[in-house]
Amino acid sequence: MSILTRRHLLRRAALSATAATPVSAVLGVSAAATTATGLAACQPGDSAADPATATSPDIRRSFPPDFGWGAATSAYQIEGAAKEDGRGESIWDSFSRTPGRTRNGDTGDVAADHYQRYAEDLDLMRDLGLRSYRFSISWPRIQPDGTGAANQRGLDFYRRLVDGLHERGIAPMATLFHWDLPQSLQDTGGWESRDVAYRFADYAAIVFDALGERVPVWLTINEPKTVVQNGYLSGHHAPGRQDPDAAYLVAHHLQLAHGLAVGALRATGSNSRIGPAFNLHPCYPADDSTEAAEATRLYDGYENRLYLDSALTGSYPEDVLADLGPNSRMVRGIRDGDLEIISSPIDLLAVQYYTPIYVTASGGMARRWPTSEAQWQQIYPDGMYDILTRVTRDYGQIPLTVTENGLPTPDVLSAEGTVEDHGRITFLRDHLAAAHQAIADGVPLESFHVWSLLDNFEWAEGYEQRWGLIYVDYPTQRRVFKRSAHWYRQVIADNAI
């Protein structure tokens, strides 16, 4: 069985694990194996760095003077207003309305109602002291059917949002695609169709034309890997497919779409900067066997190098291509010139870090650290240090931004109107300490965005998990700063943790 198929099975098993069932048990890994010491970082042979990020509130860590303190959201997760102002249907509308696809049948129809309440949310961002706000643009608001003329009312919303950010001294950072593909394009094959990459470039050109240099930083595609793994391997995200051969063709087309969008921005002569947003997972062997080291190397290929190498060096990793095989749809789908497009020079790389991956000798995944409410997330701040330093070591001094980092906590609005999410403060402080150490060791990290500004629709998990700095009381849409928001405001004011 190829690792690809094994991964498919394992991820599904891991996802069905409950709090009472350790992932290690689901995967048939002994607890002892998951507590191995001396784990190697990312590439077998490297030794794990020990940045000593166990943070003490007594140590003050100052960030560079112009550090971009930020928070992130995405369109489908917060906007609601699913039918407002000519918006078309996205694959997340149809997927979430399909019985059994999301927890409690939740949809993004209303979400945090940000489309109507954006002005209030802008004021909250100002109160928080944000210097950077990362949001995404909803493709079906701009092109309801995924092609053709722009829907001006959709563009107007983002014009108002961007103007409102500038008025409050907050730098906009816009993602072009955060998973809400127009349903009409899915109906013609979705990302399995090469043509969709070209439709994406057309859409990007419309958005660049409308917002131009008002947006200083553009991100192309959010987490192509999650579309591949969750949308096409496990199937628990839209479009809900379980087809490994299709999955990696989709990976190639997403990378192609990224490169085409970079070209579309350059064609406008814009001075804005652009790059991809990759969720990177540091991979470590779960024990010191040769088999675990080898399996880890291939995992790293699928998790990280598939995206990093193609975008930054213009080649796909040989080990992954060999594992996929010459007859795979992906390998057959790579055309002359594609990798030149995919590796069009970028200005910055957006890194999203949530969890490490520990790989067993048999190619399974093991758990070594406690998880958050999201069972896939092991809490390991040093992974932030490892992944940032690794990118700089292996790919050079490209400017980096962390565009997502955070966790869900069991937040409750008290009778006094407070939300005491101290676990989020500890998590963020420890991850910021790791980022700080990476900067000290030469990583050109320019900004950091907490996921998320607001509680929101967490995809297949619906509204059950709360990831925000700001609590959203969904029945009333009232917003409340959680304890972590107060803490983050002070961090920004001090420019230090």
User: Which residues would be at the binding site for ligand FCB (CB under 6 A)?
Assistant: 74, 77, 222-223, 226, 279, 404, 451, 458-459, 467
Complex with ligand FCB: residue 223 or 411, whichever CB lies closer? 223
Complex with ligand FCB: residue 179 or 203, whichever CB lies closer? 179
Q: Which amino acid is at 8?
A: H
Cβ proximity of 210 and 288 under 8 Å: no
Continuous segment of H or E residues that includes residue 278 = strand 273-279
DSSP line for 171-190: EEEEEEESS--BHHHHHTTG
Complex with ligand FCB: residue 296 or 377, whichever CB lies closer? 377
Complex with ligand FCB: residue 325 or 410, whichever CB lies closer? 410
11-16-21 Cα angle (round to 5): 110
Measured from the CB of residue 20, what is the shortest distance to ligand FCB in angstroms?
A: 23
Q: Give which of 109, 23, 103, 74 is closest to 467, Cα–Cα.
A: 74
Measured from the CB of residue 459, what is the shortest distance to ligand FCB in angstroms?
A: 6
Q: Which of 79, 89, 404, 458 is catalytic?
A: 404
Centre a 10 Å sphere on the Cβ of residue 495 and count the other Cβ atoms it contains: 15
Distance, in Å, from the CA atom of 360 to the CA atom of 34, rounded to the nearest integer, reads: 9
424-418-408 Cα angle (round to 5): 25
Measured from the CB of residue 179, what is the shortest distance to ligand FCB in angstroms?
A: 7
Told to judge if 446 belongs to the known catalytic residues of this protein, a careful annotator would answer no
Measured from the CB of residue 487, what is the shortest distance to ligand FCB in angstroms?
A: 20
Measured from the CB of residue 484, what is the shortest distance to ligand FCB in angstroms?
A: 15
Complex with ligand FCB: residue 279 or 437, whichever CB lies closer? 279
Where are the extended beta strands (E) located within 88-238?
132-136, 171-177, 217-222
Measured from the CB of residue 278, what is the shortest distance to ligand FCB in angstroms?
A: 10
Complex with ligand FCB: residue 354 or 488, whichever CB lies closer? 354
Burial (CB < 10 A; 0-12, 13-18, 19+), residue 96, is buried
What is the distance in angstroms between the CA of the first residue and the CA of the last residue of the chain?
48
Distance, in Å, from the CA atom of 477 to the CA atom of 472, rounded to the nearest integer, reads: 6
- Reply yes or no: is the peptide bond before residue 315 cis, omega within 30 of 0: no
Q: Which of 79, 89, 192, 223 is catalytic?
A: 223
Q: Give which of 299, 267, 271, 294 is closest to 283, Cα–Cα.
A: 299
Measured from the CB of residue 304, what is the shortest distance to ligand FCB in angstroms?
A: 15
Complex with ligand FCB: residue 74 or 102, whichever CB lies closer? 74
Cβ proximity of 313 and 395 under 8 Å: yes
Told to judge if 223 belongs to the known catalytic residues of this protein, a careful annotator would answer yes
108: helix, strand or coil:
coil
Q: Which residues are catalytic?
A: 223, 404
